[in-house]
Amino acid sequence: MNSEISSNTTTPIDPAVIPISPDNPKVSIITSVFNGRQYLEEYERYVESQSFQDYELIMVVDTRSDDGTLEEVRRYCSVNDKARCLLQEGPGRLGGSKNIGMDDARGDYLWFLDVDDAPSLDFLARMVEAKESTGSDVAICNFVYVDERAPPKEERGDVIVMSGKTALHARSLNLVPVTSWSMLYDREHQREIGLRFREMMSEDIAFTYIYLDSSERVCFVTEPLYGYVIHRNSFCANRMDERGYTELDSYNYLSEYFPKSDTYLQSRMCAIVLRSLVHMTPKGLKKAIRDPTLEANVMRYLGFSGRLEYRLARIFPTVYQWGGSWYIRRFYHRIGNVYVDASKMRTLRSVVESEPDD
């Protein structure tokens, strides 16, 4: 077994002794902003209050914003020498915005922070510490669902270390997040493999799976270092069908990327995308469920129960969407829930402990 589970014995980084270089920062914080003016003041405070200060801040503003976002970002960058403003022009999507920031980044590590969420003030310190002490290609953290912007409660957990292949396995079981804001990536590794975000919503999905697959070592910080704010009127919440179609497209893309012979991974991705369609409206789900690639993958990779679920979703899309949405709101996205809860954590440790020796 080549897995490793570390306890709380690592020494916290003292930000007072970190040399800060504006030309070669340790971390590049990249944030995409579209009509986010109302969130910027609090966002700026979260960034400025990080206990780890060796960072640069890259704010990529969609020029279609019409709420004063660009003016505020330019004002902020004019008085903060760590921050700079880049523009995303034209009909771009979130993935393209992240690529703009990533291409301009000078830091050793990349963090894609959302403008409307609530990270722990020790997010960077803890993630840099975990990544560097374990020699990992990426650090991933746990997170908590919240309905107001407040940093997660301070608590010290441990760091679970695994191979990239094991992390990919854990991801396919929903035991680690797929979200780029919960990760600290290695910029050199990203550039070596030439990985970029797809220019769409749900851009994190393909990027995360492929990055994990290409990684030699991955670490997971068990305490929730990030508060993911559930906004009922957010951009994604108001474009449920577009989000659903792009999730479907992402998993269809990954199905072609990974070997067809890896039937376990293929079946897990197929099950994930089938259930993610409940984010859509009944009308959108009715159309998406008939996607020929999804249907072929269901018939090829899922067993009897999965094929039965698929058939029921096709016949009764409204009932399937209502039931799935209710379950997600009630049990999955419930305020206060931790993404990797105690039950998931036990399963994750079991998966890592069973990892075979190299």
- Stretch 134-138: mean pLDDT: 98
* Tens digits of residue pLDDT in 180-223: 999 999 999 999 999 999 998 889 999 999 999 999 999 999 99
**For position 21, what pLDDT does the model report?**
53
**Single-letter amino acid code for the residue at 104:** D
- CA dist 118 and 227 (Å) reads 5
Global pTM reads: 0.89
Looking at the predicted structure, is the pLDDT value of residue 18 above 50?
Answer: no
Mean pLDDT within 303-320: 94
Instruction: Give yes or no for residue 237 having a pLDDT over 60.
Output: no
The confidence band for 159, taking pLDDT boundaries of 50, 70 and 90, is very high
Distances in Å between the alpha carbon of 59 and those of 28, 75, 198? Answer: 10, 12, 19
Q: Supply the DSSP symbol for 15.
A: G
Q: How far apart are CA 133 and CA 135, in angstroms?
A: 6
Tell me: pLDDT of 275 over 60. yes
Percent of the chain with pLDDT over 70: 90
Give me the long-range contacts of 298-302 (CB less than 8 A, separation at least 24): 298/270, 298/274, 300/266, 301/263, 301/266, 301/267, 301/270, 302/267, 302/270, 302/271
* pLDDT-based confidence at residue 93 (cuts at 50, 70, 90): confident
Per-residue pLDDT tens digits for 319-349? 999 998 887 777 666 778 899 999 999 999 9
- pLDDT (average), residues 347-357: 90
* Three-state DSSP class for residue 114: coil
Decide if pLDDT at 245 tops 90.
yes
Give the tens place of pLDDT for each residue, 284-301: 999 999 999 999 999 999
